[in-house]
């Protein structure tokens, strides 16, 4: 079986060395030395300010904390073409997702449609850099400034992605990222919030630890969103191998592109942004073709994924009555192929040949 995703497991000797330091310190959580070390090393690796980078227990909590810290209310403009957490976290926080359709080529939220969907009760825009492909940040920021809206970018797929030569995580009031096990970089479970100001980051740091500012002072409504030392240990060991991981993913991505670009529609990527090669999605001619491709791949022991499916505006929990036609269409025809470190050239060729020959 070739899985669609395979978590990268770091070198045991490196990992054991980090874990040994946990046993020596007996410090397991509450902003321990490894969490502090990972914060600084990630900031250095991603060209960010460590004072504006807050590690958390997962990417969903990163979104929850961002909405709370920015005091969002009412309606929030977002995309239906994303993982469920982008919108479900809004609903969980008592906010109303207003779904705006996507561009048919980039698969990101269409800025031309945002303005006409802004309601009197709107407080923010939550765009997604889909598959690590940069949104039209300039157009979105112009709209946000005009209507005095906060902007929170779901950058879950964007580890190492740059925009105009700078980290894409610097976009908006806040960017969030996921460090889930299948991501390009991971801490098994984890995530981060990247803020524009240290003041906002400090507010979120308090919220991560129940709102506790000092042993005898609770200053904000908080929760338990802390990253543990063991998760940070995995992150540090994975980060040690990032150059290898990035090279491997790039080779797989480019191999797929060479074999499949003439047969399938690929995502149109922003010319201003880098490609971190985190995913390889392609668009088939119909939903029936997707099902046939999935069956053909499965017969050869290959797993693929309909990602993202379904289009979120059609999920009943959101009580949405408007169909986003482009997102609905793309979601019905999308297929993500296996891409992970260690996937061999022979395996990539075999996957591509099944799709071409079906």
Per-residue pLDDT reduced to its tens digit, 291-333: 999 999 999 999 999 999 999 999 999 998 889 999 999 999 9
Residue range 179-228, pLDDT digits in tens: 999 999 999 999 999 999 999 999 999 999 999 888 888 888 999 999 99
Note the pLDDT of residue 216: 84
Task: Answer whether residue 64 shows pLDDT above 70.
Answer: yes
Task: Answer whether residue 260 shows pLDDT above 90.
Answer: yes
Task: Answer whether residue 276 shows pLDDT above 90.
Answer: yes
Please report which confidence band the pLDDT of residue 358 belongs to, taking 50, 70 and 90 as the band edges: low
Give percent above pLDDT 70 in the chain.
Answer: 100
CATH code given to domain 12-240: 3.40.640.10
The CATH 3.40.640.10 domain(s) of the chain lie at 12-240
Note the pLDDT of residue 213: 84
Please report which confidence band the pLDDT of residue 347 belongs to, taking 50, 70 and 90 as the band edges: very high
pTM above threshold 0.85: yes
The CATH 3.90.1150.10 domain(s) of the chain lie at 242-357
Task: Answer whether residue 241 shows pLDDT above 90.
Answer: yes
Please state, rounded to an integer, the average pLDDT across all residues of the chain.
Answer: 97
Average pLDDT estimate for 56-64: 98
Task: Answer whether residue 73 shows pLDDT above 90.
Answer: yes
**Cβ–Cβ under 8 Å, residues 298 and 316:** no
Top-tier CATH class for 242-357: alpha beta
Strand partners, 273: 163
């Amino acid at each position: 079986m070739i899985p669609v995703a395979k978590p990268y497991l770091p070198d045991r000797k490196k990992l054991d060395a980090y874990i040994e330091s946990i046993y020596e310190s007996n410090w397991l959580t509450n902003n321990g030395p490894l969490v502090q070390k990972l914060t600084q090393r990630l900031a250095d690796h991603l060209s960010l300010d460590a004072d504006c980078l807050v590690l958390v227990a997962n990417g969903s909590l990163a979104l929850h904390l961002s909405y709370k810290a920015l005091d969002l209310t009412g309606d929030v403009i977002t995309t239906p073409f994303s993982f469920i957490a982008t919108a479900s976290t809004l609903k969980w926080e008592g906010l109303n997702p207003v779904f705006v359709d996507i561009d048919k080529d980039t698969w990101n939220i269409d800025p031309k449609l945002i303005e006409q969907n802004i309601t009197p009760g709107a407080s923010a825009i939550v765009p997604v850099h889909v598959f690590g492909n940069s949104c039209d940040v300039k157009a979105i920021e112009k709209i946000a400034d005009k209507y005095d809206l906060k902007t929170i970018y779901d950058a879950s797929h964007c580890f190492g992605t740059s925009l105009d030569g700078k980290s894409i995580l610097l976009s908006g009031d806040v960017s969030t990222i996921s460090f889930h096990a299948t991501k390009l970089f991971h801490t098994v479970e984890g995530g981060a919030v990247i803020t524009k100001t240290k003041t906002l980051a400090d507010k979120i740091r308090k919220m991560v630890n129940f709102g506790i500012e000092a042993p005898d002072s609770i200053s904000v409504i908080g929760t338990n969103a802390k990253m543990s030392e063991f998760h940070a240990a995995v992150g540090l060991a994975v980060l040690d191998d990032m150059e290898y991981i990035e090279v491997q993913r790039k080779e797989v991505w480019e191999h797929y592109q060479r074999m499949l670009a003439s047969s399938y529609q690929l995502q149109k990527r922003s010319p201003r942004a880098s490609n971190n090669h985190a995913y390889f999605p392609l668009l088939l001619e119909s939903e029936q073709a997707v099902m046939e491709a999935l069956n053909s791949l499965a017969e050869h022991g290959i797993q693929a994924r309909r990602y993202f499916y379904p289009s979120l505006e059609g999920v009943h929990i959101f009580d949405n009555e408007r169909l986003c036609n482009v997102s609905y269409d793309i979601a019905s025809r999308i297929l993500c192929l296996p891409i992970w470190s260690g996937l061999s050239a022979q395996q990539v060729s075999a996957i591509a040949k099944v799709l071409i020959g079906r």
